[in-house]
C-alpha cells in the first residue's frame, strides 16, 4: 500500500496563529517525502523535501518549517500564519517508478 494520510483535511485559522499539518505514509520504509503548496488557481510550489528522518531541505524561504520525526511522518508547521499562507497543501512520496504520489491534501484558509 502506498497510502498517504493527511490531517486535517480542512482548517480555517486566524492570521498570527500557529499551524501544524501532518502527513503519514504507509508502505516501504525510508520514503522520500515532499510538501507542495497550491495557491488558489495556481500551480504546485515545492516547499520542503526529506530523504530521511531529521533530514529536511527547504526550497522556498518563508515562515513555514518542516520536520520528520519518524520515518513515515512528515510535518509542516508555522509559528505565525500569514494571509498568503492560504492554500492547498499536498504531501507526496516518491515511488520506485519515479512517480510522485500525492495525498488528498489539506486545505488551509487564513483569515
Partner 1 sequence: QQPVQSPQAVILREGEDAVINCSSSKALYSVHWYRQKHGEAPVFLMILLKGGEQKGHEKISASFNEKKQQSSLYLTASQLSYSGTYFCGTEFMYSGGGADGLTFGKGTHLIIQP
Q: Does 61 engage in binding with partner 1 (CB under 8 A)?
A: no
Residues 6 or more apart whose Cβ sits within 8 Å of residue 28: 96
Provide, rounded to whole angstroms, the least separation between the CB of residue 88 and partner 1: 8
Kindly report the number of other CB atoms within 10 A of residue 27's CB atom. Answer: 13
Q: Does 55 engage in binding with partner 1 (CB under 8 A)?
A: no
Q: Does 2 engage in binding with partner 1 (CB under 8 A)?
A: no
Strand-strand pairing, 100-102 and 87-94: antiparallel
Q: Does 90 engage in binding with partner 1 (CB under 8 A)?
A: yes
Q: Does 89 engage in binding with partner 1 (CB under 8 A)?
A: no
Q: Does 46 engage in binding with partner 1 (CB under 8 A)?
A: yes
The DSSP line for 48-62 is: EEEEETTEEEESS-S
How far apart are alpha carbons 85 and 35 in whole angstroms? Answer: 13
Q: Does 103 engage in binding with partner 1 (CB under 8 A)?
A: yes
Kindly report the number of other CB atoms within 10 A of residue 68's CB atom. Answer: 20
Q: Which stretch binds partner 1 (CB under 8 A): 14-22, 64-72, 77-85, 97-105?
A: 97-105
Binding site for partner 1 (CB under 8 A): 32, 34, 36, 42-46, 49, 51, 57, 59, 90, 94, 97-105
Amino acid at each position: 500500500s502506498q497510502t498517504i494520510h493527511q490531517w486535517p483535511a480542512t482548517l480555517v485559522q486566524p492570521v498570527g496563529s500557529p499551524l501544524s499539518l501532518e502527513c503519514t505514509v504507509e508502505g516501504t520504509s525510508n520514503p522520500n517525502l515532499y510538501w507542495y503548496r497550491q495557491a488558489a488557481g495556481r500551480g504546485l510550489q515545492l516547499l520542503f523535501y526529506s530523504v530521511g528522518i531529521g533530514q529536511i531541505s527547504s526550497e522556498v524561504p518563508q515562515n513555514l518549517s518542516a520536520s520528520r520525526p519518524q520515518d513515515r511522518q512528515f510535518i509542516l508547521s508555522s509559528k505565525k500564519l500569514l494571509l498568503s499562507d492560504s492554500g492547498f497543501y499536498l504531501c507526496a512520496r516518491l515511488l520506485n517508478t519515479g512517480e510522485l504520489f500525492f495525498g488528498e491534501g489539506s486545505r488551509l484558509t487564513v483569515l
